[in-house]
Amino acid sequence: MSQKNLQGIYAISDTELTPNASLQTMLKQAIQGGITLFQLRDKTTPKQELSLLCQKLAKICASHNIPFILNDHISLAISLQTQGLHVGKDENDKPYSPQQLRHIRAQFRGILGVSCYGDLELAHNAIEAGADYIAFGSCFASQTKPQAKTIDLEIFKHTRAFTEIPLCAIGGINQQNISKLKDATMIACVRSIWSGDIVKNVQQLLRAWKS
């Protein structure tokens, strides 16, 4: 996957805001609005049902040349050969170690994204392990993850000083604060996309980011 595809508005699903029964329709609306990546984040759906949902959503994404990224379900991503996989913390709620990341990279050959929170050491580890993009957050207070710590936004400039890897911003991003993230390559959003008019939300996020 060319890094040119890893940029823009990155829509992330939410089991409450994007129920499975509506998600395919909502995804199509987000694509119409202008998203360039989509991540399925679902920690509750049974594996067999989740597998079928992945295949349906991946087909929609492929038809629009948009990367489909699966969150955290490493074995499922490998078995389905999904276009992308995003990992955050392991089963012990700790960031993946360099050794763990290298093991994941060896097994999964698609797009690999890694959450680095606000930690440059984690960013170095992810890059050295072969990640295709890294994510920093929470950039702002988040309703989706209210317990998440907010980060110093200068981390994007600091990271850009030593790497050209795509940088993803996540956490509490909306039309009012997205303009503060000019140094990010990708903007990951949840509530600010799915609440209300999805098409209009994405379009307004894009305009506000570039303004």
pLDDT by position in tens, the chain (length 211): 446 589 999 999 999 999 999 999 999 999 999 999 999 999 999 999 999 999 999 999 999 999 999 999 999 999 999 999 999 998 889 999 999 999 999 999 999 999 999 999 999 999 999 999 999 999 999 877 778 799 999 999 999 999 999 999 999 999 999 999 999 999 999 999 999 999 999 999 999 998 8
CA distance 11 to 190: 6
Residue corresponding to tokens 């209300």: 196
Q: Are 135 and 188 in contact (CB under 8 A)?
A: yes
- Those residues whose C-beta lies under 8 Å from the C-beta of residue 107, and which sit 6 or more positions away, are 74, 78
- Alpha helix stretches (DSSP H) within the chain: 20-33, 47-63, 74-80, 98-107, 120-129, 155-160, 191-194, 198-210
Residue 29 sits at φ, ψ, to 5 deg, of -65, -40
- In this predicted structure, what is the pLDDT of residue 143? 79
CA distance 58 to 111: 14
Q: Are 207 and 10 in contact (CB under 8 A)?
A: no
- In this predicted structure, what is the pLDDT of residue 146? 76
Enter the tokens of residue 210: 């570039």
Q: CA 5, 9, 12, 13 torsion: positive or negative?
A: negative
CA angle 168–13–109, rounded 5-degree value = 60
Whole-model pTM above 0.85? Answer: yes
Q: Are 129 and 105 in contact (CB under 8 A)?
A: yes
Coil, strand or helix at 33 = helix
- In this predicted structure, what is the pLDDT of residue 67? 97
Helix or strand (DSSP H, E) at 169: strand 167-170
- In this predicted structure, what is the pLDDT of residue 144? 73
